[in-house]
């Protein structure tokens, strides 16, 4: 199952490296055709407004929605999570609408702009017992999530890692630490989609 990493802007190279560490092959995708050809998609961190500008008129947003709705595994971090959301605030903006969540951008103010935290409120059944080191960079916050959204980790009570069927989204950057548990979760869903396609 081919994994395409959207490579218009942001830390797509870090995602490629993190997935390569786990033995996964990826390709960098930059067009709607490449998005449609991929079996799974990664939306990196970066700047969501810039990503929207670069996607304008390319057909990529429609291709991403089609991929998500077709049940292909989709994994977004930080700006990538913002792209996936149904509702975007602060300022109000666009979202692809495939993740039933409201995302507040730059939610932690200037002083706490960027921080490394040890998340202790994690779903141990899915992620194991160890606290998760999490890098937040001008991070958004999931202000609300719908009933079909499973919360896998929280920071100060707010969801920071969520899963809705084939969609996985983090407001932090698992690709920037050595903790590969979130990437592994994505790869499990890629493997599951591959088995389904083969059956
Ligand atoms: N603040 C950025 C945005 O609103 C996201 C930051 C990130 O991806 N590290 O798009």
Is the per-residue pLDDT at 111 higher than 60? no
Give the pLDDT band of residue 110 (cuts 50, 70, 90): low
Q: In 3D, which of 26, 31, 10, 8 has the Cα closest to residue 183? A: 26
Q: Is 46 in the pocket of ligand 1 (CB under 6 A)?
A: yes
Q: Is 82 in the pocket of ligand 1 (CB under 6 A)?
A: yes
Give the pLDDT band of residue 31 (cuts 50, 70, 90): very high
User: 3-class DSSP state for residue 107?
Assistant: coil
Residue whose CA lies nearest to ligand 1 atom number 9: 137
pTM exceeds cut of 0.85: yes
Quote the CA–CA distance of 181 and 175 in Å, as a whole number: 10
Q: Which atom of ligand 1 is nearest to the CA of 44?
A: 8
> Per residue in 118-166, pLDDT tens?
999 999 999 999 999 999 999 999 999 999 999 999 999 999 999 999 9
Quote the CA–CA distance of 38 and 194 in Å, as a whole number: 12
- pLDDT the model gives residue 96: 98
Q: Which domains does the chain have, with CATH numbers?
A: 3-198 (3.40.50.880)
Quote the CA–CA distance of 58 and 52 in Å, as a whole number: 10
> Per residue in 49-100, pLDDT tens?
999 999 999 999 999 999 999 999 999 999 999 999 999 999 999 899 999 9
17 is catalytic: no
Q: Which atom of ligand 1 is nearest to the CA of 45?
A: 8
Ligand 1 center to 38 CA (angstroms): 24
Ligand 1 center to 10 CA (angstroms): 9
């Amino acid at each position: 199952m081919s994994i395409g990493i959207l490579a218009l802007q942001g830390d797509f190279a870090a995602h490629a490296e993190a997935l390569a560490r786990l033995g996964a092959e990826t390709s960098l995708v930059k067009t709607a055709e490449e998005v449609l050809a991929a079996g799974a998609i990664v939306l990196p961190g970066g700047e969501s407004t810039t990503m929207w500008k670069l996607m304008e008129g390319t057909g990529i947003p429609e291709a991403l929605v089609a991929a998500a709705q077709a049940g292909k595994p989709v994994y977004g971090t930080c700006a990538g999570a913002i792209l996936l959301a149904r509702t975007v605030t602060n300022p109000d903006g666009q979202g692809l609408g495939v993740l039933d969540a409201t995302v507040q951008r730059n939610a932690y103010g200037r002083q706490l702009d960027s921080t490394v935290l040890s998340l202790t409120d994690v779903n141990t059944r899915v992620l194991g017992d160890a606290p998760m080191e999490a890098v937040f960079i001008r991070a958004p916050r999931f202000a609300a999530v719908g009933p079909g959204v499973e919360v896998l980790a929280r920071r100060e009570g707010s969801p920071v890692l969520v899963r809705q069927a084939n969609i996985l989204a983090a407001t932090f950057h698992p690709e920037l630490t050595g903790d590969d548990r979130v990437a592994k979760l994505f790869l499990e869903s890629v493997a599951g989609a591959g088995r389904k396609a083969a059956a």
